[in-house]
Amino acid sequence: MTHSSGPRTGRPPTTGIRGMVATSHALASASGYTALRRGGSAVDAAIAANATLCVVYPHMGGLGGDGFWLIADPGNGYRVKALNASGPAAKRADIEFYRQKGYTNAIPSRGALGALTIPGAVDGWREAHQHYGKLEWAELFEDAIYYAQNGFPVGNSLADWTVKDSELMRNYPSAAQIYMPSGKPPRAGERLVNPALAASFKRLAESGPRQGFYEGETASRICQALGSQGSPLQEEDFESFKAQWVEPISVDYQGYTAYEFPPNTQGLAALQILNLIEGFDLQSFGDNSADYYHHMAEAVKLAFADRNAWLSDPEFIDIPLERLLDKAYADERRKLIDPRQAMVMEDVPPGIAPENSTSGSSDHGGDTCYFCTVDDDGLAVSVIQSIFHDFGTVEIAGDTGIILQNRGSFFSLDENHPNRLEPGKRTFHTLIPAMLYREGKPYLVYGSMGGEGQPQTHAAMISRIIDFGYDVQQAIEAPRWLMGRTWGTKVQDLALEGRISDLVANELKRRGQPVKPVEDWNDNMGHAQAIRLNPQTGFLEGGADPRGDGSAIGY
């Protein structure tokens, strides 16, 4: 397939020979690039980039959040390894804990009561660095400490989200003091500092991940501050947590192998979408056609019905993954797709229904940062990190400068729901890093922030690169859709970026799709990044999303 001459913003793909970093913020990409040029590994670069993101992209990620890693290891036959750095619910966090506080329908999504899961990202850094790090641990945090202590220029995304959340933030003075120091949201380009976060990063750098975060002063300060406001988190929860290596899941697509993260994340939905669309001739539909968007949206509806019915912590529920990802199962489900008439998303049943369980999930919205790195040895890393909703709990944990994630608010208080709250349980996660293999080696590392949109953006990128021959940057820039809820809405629309023609939008409406036009470059569509390891040229080809503040840097 030759490269398409499809639309682009004017940004060509970034090229490199030895190494590359692609993140959602230019300063984070620079931190990862610096680590590579110092002789660091792709894992070192990913940790350095993530640390900077914790400072300059605080509405999307932070030390108080979770992380997920896929690592392609050239030293082990390019086996894909998956690292789950998501924290479970605190030992005191159960349904009765919230009932006693007057919550019977849902866990509060903001404030200390929304902080009920252990932040796992930092121990993911520890575990990945222990296996693949080349630089000294403390070196990885030099940029993060500098930007937190001395300030950084506010990017467009942070400026926009602070405006959106300004009234919410005024209810949390500790956060407002840092992120609206003048009493108003900062403009893009203004300097922002967080010396308390710099101090937390210094402890992490000097004492290491366990004593510097989970077993020492930082954990103590977090638990004391939030515990006094009702959070069930205790120091023993932090002390007991360790990130876990798990087995990735995969399916074949058009001669490639797509790898995703297993439950407790929604990687199975991304793979189901690929299984479903593989049975259609997308090339005959044409990219940006009504047929393309219609069939993609219908595949999403089917995949999400299974996801909502089953997804939770696999240690607490037996998920029939093998059957859900079987090609024959996809063939049967695909028969439900009518090329001329849309299904109603809320009415689509799962293909395999759990027994004695209430299926269906609440809002899957959330904000996240995705990034990827490749080094000179061929080590390829795909990582995603989040504090769930924009600014997480919006509660700064005492004098640490850290916002805790509100990921635990996604647990259900319905005792019959597969994702019901239980102590020590990991909740349903939307976070999914991804990789695509060709002939047993990594071909593409890719992913996107955007909660509900992540599996859809994965499908968009794969179809546009594999089926339509786009380069990486074109695939990221091409108009996107979002089928389902976005954060803050209850209606399951088919959002279409404004660059999709009225002719196509009207045809989709005629087929019964709940079309909702949005901006040309819509933030809710997610910020995608990708690096292609081109076997034909031996070069690296990277891209970053113009919907965010990121960049890809190669050398």
Structure tokens at 43: 């894992």
Say what the pLDDT of residue 419 is.
83
Tell which residue, 138, 149, 153, 157, has the closest CA to residue 206: 138
Report the 10 Å Cβ neighbour count for 1.
Answer: 10
What CATH class is the domain 252-258+268-363+456-554?
A: mainly alpha
User: Among this protein's residues, is 368 annotated catalytic?
Assistant: yes
Say what the pLDDT of residue 4 is.
44
Backbone angle region of 412, left / alpha / beta, with phi > 0 → left and psi within -120 to 50 → alpha: beta
Among all chains, which residue has been given the structure tokens 């919907």?
547
Tell which residue, 431, 476, 430, has the closest CA to residue 457: 476
The H-or-E segment that residue 435 falls in is strand 434-438
- Using N-to-C axis directions, what is the helix angle for 142-150 and 26-37, rounded to 10°? 140
Say what the pLDDT of residue 274 is.
98
Tens digits of per-residue pLDDT, 389-441? 999 999 999 999 999 999 999 899 999 888 899 999 988 778 899 999 999 99
Say what the pLDDT of residue 90 is.
97
Say what the pLDDT of residue 363 is.
46
Say what the pLDDT of residue 367 is.
62
Per-residue pLDDT of the chain (555 residues; tens, 9 = 90+): 334 445 556 689 999 999 999 999 999 999 999 999 999 999 999 999 999 999 999 999 999 999 999 999 999 899 999 999 999 999 999 999 999 999 999 999 999 999 999 999 999 999 999 999 999 999 999 999 999 999 999 999 999 999 999 999 999 999 999 999 999 999 999 999 999 999 999 999 999 999 999 999 999 999 999 999 999 999 999 999 999 999 999 999 999 999 999 988 899 999 999 999 999 999 999 999 999 999 999 999 999 999 988 877 788 888 898 999 999 999 999 999 999 999 999 889 888 877 655 444 444 455 688 999 999 999 999 999 999 899 999 999 999 999 999 999 989 999 988 889 999 998 877 889 999 999 999 999 999 987 788 999 999 999 999 999 999 999 999 999 999 876 555 668 999 999 999 999 999 999 999 999 999 998 888 889 999 999 888 999 999 999 989 999 999
3-state helix/strand/coil string of 513-526: CCEEEECCCCHHHC
For the chain, what are the domain ranges? 16-245+364-410, 252-258+268-363+456-554
Say what the pLDDT of residue 489 is.
55
Task: Measure the CA–CA gap between 541 and 520, rounded to whole angstroms.
Answer: 25
The residue from 162, 265, 368, 486 that is catalytic is 368
Structure tokens at 468: 């339509």
The H-or-E segment that residue 283 falls in is helix 282-285
Q: Determine whether 189 is exposed, middle or buried from the number of CB atoms within 10 Å of its CB (0-12, 13-18, 19+).
A: exposed
**β-sheet bridge partners, residue 153:** 191
Structure tokens at 475: 């695939």
Say what the pLDDT of residue 524 is.
85
Task: Measure the CA–CA gap between 385 and 63, rounded to whole angstroms.
Answer: 10
Largest CA distance in the chain: 62
pTM for this entry:
0.94
Distances (CA, A) of 246 to 50, 265, 450: 21, 12, 23
Say what the pLDDT of residue 491 is.
64
Cβ atoms of 62 and 120 closer than 8 Å: no
Strand-strand pairing, 515-518 and 493-497 = parallel
